[in-house]
C-alpha cells in the first residue's frame, strides 16, 4: 500500500484495527484501478472503454451503464451496446442517437400494469412514469428524501438560526427544510449561469447571486445548517470554497453534502456520462465547458477534517424502489463543525464494494 494513504487512514480511524484493515483493502483496490484506464470526455471513448473492459467486470459495468441510460432514454440498449462495440462508435455519435430518440424500444410492462423492479416490489406504471418523466415531481421526491435524512440526523431545526442552500438549483430542498421558518432565516445562493432565477420567484426565500471564486456575502458563523447537493465536484478551488463554508457555519452547526463516491476510473467515466446525458443535444459545447474532480467519500472526509468538519451520519442513496446503490454511487453525508459534544452514534460504514465492479 502506498505510503501517501497512511496519514489518511490514521487520521480517520486512529487505532481502530477493524476499520483500518477494511480500508487498507479499499486502498489497494483504488491503487489497482485508478489512473489506469480513464478516458476523458474529450477522448470520445468513454462508452467504448467501459463496454470493452478486459478484467472480468464487464457484466457489472454494463449493468451500471444500463441503469444510467434508462433514466434518460427508452432505447434498445442491448442493440446500442452491440453497435458501440462493433462499430467503435464515438461518444458524440451515441449522445446524438440518444437526443434524437433513435434505436427505439419500450419498457416491459406486465399484464396487470405493474413493473417489476426488484423481488417482491412492484410499482404502478402510472406512478413510475410520473416520477421518471416529470423532472419537477422527481426532484420533489428527492428533496423530501434529503430533508428527511437531515431532520432524522440532527433533530428539529432551530428556528432562531438561519439555514442556507448553497448552490441551490431549483430550491426544492430549502423549500421543504424551511417550512414554518421566517423568510429572514431562509437563504439560498447560486451562480447566475446555472439557473435562470429571474423566472422563478419564491417569497419565502432570500436568494443571493454569487460569483465563482469570490467571498460569500454572509457573516461569520451565520448559519446553523448549510446544504450542498452535488456541488463540490464541480468546484475548481475546493480549498477556498470549503474555507468559506466553514466560515459561515456556526460552531456545532451542520453541513449536508451529496456527492459521488467515485473510487475507480470506471466510476469517474460513469459520472462523466451521467452529467453529459443532461446535455446530450449539445454535447460538443458540453465537452469544452465541463469540469469535474471526483472524490470518494474517504478522500472527502479527510479533506473535511482540515476545515473543522466531523462526520455525523453517512449513507448511500439507493435507487427508487430498489435496494441497491445507483450507477454513479451517490452518497450523502452530514458533518458537524467543531463539535464539542460526543457524536450521537458511531458511523457504521459498509465495506467498499468490489471495484468496478
91-100, 102-111, 287-296, range with the lowest pLDDT: 102-111
85-99, 104-118, 157-171, 342-356: range with lowest mean pLDDT: 104-118
SS (H, E, C) 50-112: HHCCCCCCHHHHHHHHHHHHHCCCCCCHHHHHHHHHHHCCCHHHHHHHHHCCCCCCCCCCCCC
- 202 versus 41: the higher-pLDDT residue is 41
pLDDT for res 74: 81
Report the chain's C-alpha Rg in angstroms.
21
Q: Is the peptide bond before 215 cis (omega within 30 degrees of 0)?
A: no
Give pLDDT, residue 102.
Answer: 46
Residue-level pLDDT at 192: 78
Q: Strand, helix or coil at 257?
A: strand
d(CA 99, CA 75): 11
Separation between Cα atoms, residue 41 and residue 114, nearest integer Å: 37
pLDDT at 355: 36
Q: Is pLDDT at 336 greater than 90 in this prediction?
A: yes
Backbone phi, psi, residue 223, to 5°: -110, 145
| Residue-averaged pLDDT of the chain | 78
Residue of 352, 163, 350, 121 whose CA lies nearest to 256? 163
Q: Which three cell numbers stand for residue 98?
A: 440518444
pLDDT score at 166: 94
Q: Does the structure show a pLDDT above 50 at 109? A: no
Question: Structure pTM?
Answer: 0.80
Per-residue confidence at 88, pLDDT binned at 50, 70, 90? very high
228-266 as b/e, with b when 16 or more CB fall inside 10 Å? bbebbbebeeeeebbebbbebbbeebbbbbbbbbbbbbb
Over residues 122-127, the mean pLDDT reads: 49
Q: Where is pLDDT greater, at 253 or 323?
A: 253
Segment of 105-109, 157-161, 228-232 carrying the highest mean pLDDT: 228-232
C-alpha cell belonging to residue 196: 435562470
C-alpha span between 131 and 168 (Å, rounded) = 21
**Strand-pair partners of 318:** 325
Amino acid at each position: 500500500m502506498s505510503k501517501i494513504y497512511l496519514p489518511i487512514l490514521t487520521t480517520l480511524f486512529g487505532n481502530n484495527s477493524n476499520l483500518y484493515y477494511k480500508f487498507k483493502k479499499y486502498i489497494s483496490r483504488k491503487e489497482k484501478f485508478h489512473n489506469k484506464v480513464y478516458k476523458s470526455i474529450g477522448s470520445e471513448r468513454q462508452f467504448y472503454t467501459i463496454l470493452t473492459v478486459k478484467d472480468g467486470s464487464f457484466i457489472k459495468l454494463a449493468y451500471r451503464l444500463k441503469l444510467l441510460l434508462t433514466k434518460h432514454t427508452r432505447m434498445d440498449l442491448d442493440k446500442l451496446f452491440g453497435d458501440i462495440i462493433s462499430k467503435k462508435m464515438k461518444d458524440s455519435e451515441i449522445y446524438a442517437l440518444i437526443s434524437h430518440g433513435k434505436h427505439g424500444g419500450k419498457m416491459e410492462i406486465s399484464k396487470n400494469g405493474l413493473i417489476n423492479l426488484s423481488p417482491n416490489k412492484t410499482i404502478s406504471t402510472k406512478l413510475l412514469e410520473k416520477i421518471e418523466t416529470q423532472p419537477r415531481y422527481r426532484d420533489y421526491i428527492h428533496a423530501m428524501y434529503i430533508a428527511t435524512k437531515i431532520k432524522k440526523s440532527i433533530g428539529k431545526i432551530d428556528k432562531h438560526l438561519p439555514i442556507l442552500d448553497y448552490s441551490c438549483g431549483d430550491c426544492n430542498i430549502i423549500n421543504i427544510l424551511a417550512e414554518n421558518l421566517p423568510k429572514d432565516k431562509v437563504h439560498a445562493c447560486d451562480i447566475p449561469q446555472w439557473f435562470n432565477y429571474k423566472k422563478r420567484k419564491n417569497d419565502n426565500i432570500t436568494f443571493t447571486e454569487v460569483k465563482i471564486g469570490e467571498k460569500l456575502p454572509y457573516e461569520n458563523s451565520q448559519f446553523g445548517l448549510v446544504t450542498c447537493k452535488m456541488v463540490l465536484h464541480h468546484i475548481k478551488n475546493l480549498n477556498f470554497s470549503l474555507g468559506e463554508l466553514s466560515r459561515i457555519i456556526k460552531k456545532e452547526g451542520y453541513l449536508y453534502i451529496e456527492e459521488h463516491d467515485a473510487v475507480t476510473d470506471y466510476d469517474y467515466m460513469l459520472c462523466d456520462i451521467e452529467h453529459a446525458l443532461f446535455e446530450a443535444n449539445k454535447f460538443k459545447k458540453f465537452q469544452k465547458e465541463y469540469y469535474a474532480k471526483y472524490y470518494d467519500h474517504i478522500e472527502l472526509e479527510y479533506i473535511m477534517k482540515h476545515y473543522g468538519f466531523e462526520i455525523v451520519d453517512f449513507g448511500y442513496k439507493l435507487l427508487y424502489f430498489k435496494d441497491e446503490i445507483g450507477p454513479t454511487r451517490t452518497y450523502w453525508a452530514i458533518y458537524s463543525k467543531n463539535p464539542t459534544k460526543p457524536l450521537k452514534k458511531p458511523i457504521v460504514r459498509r465495506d467498499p464494494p468490489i471495484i468496478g465492479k
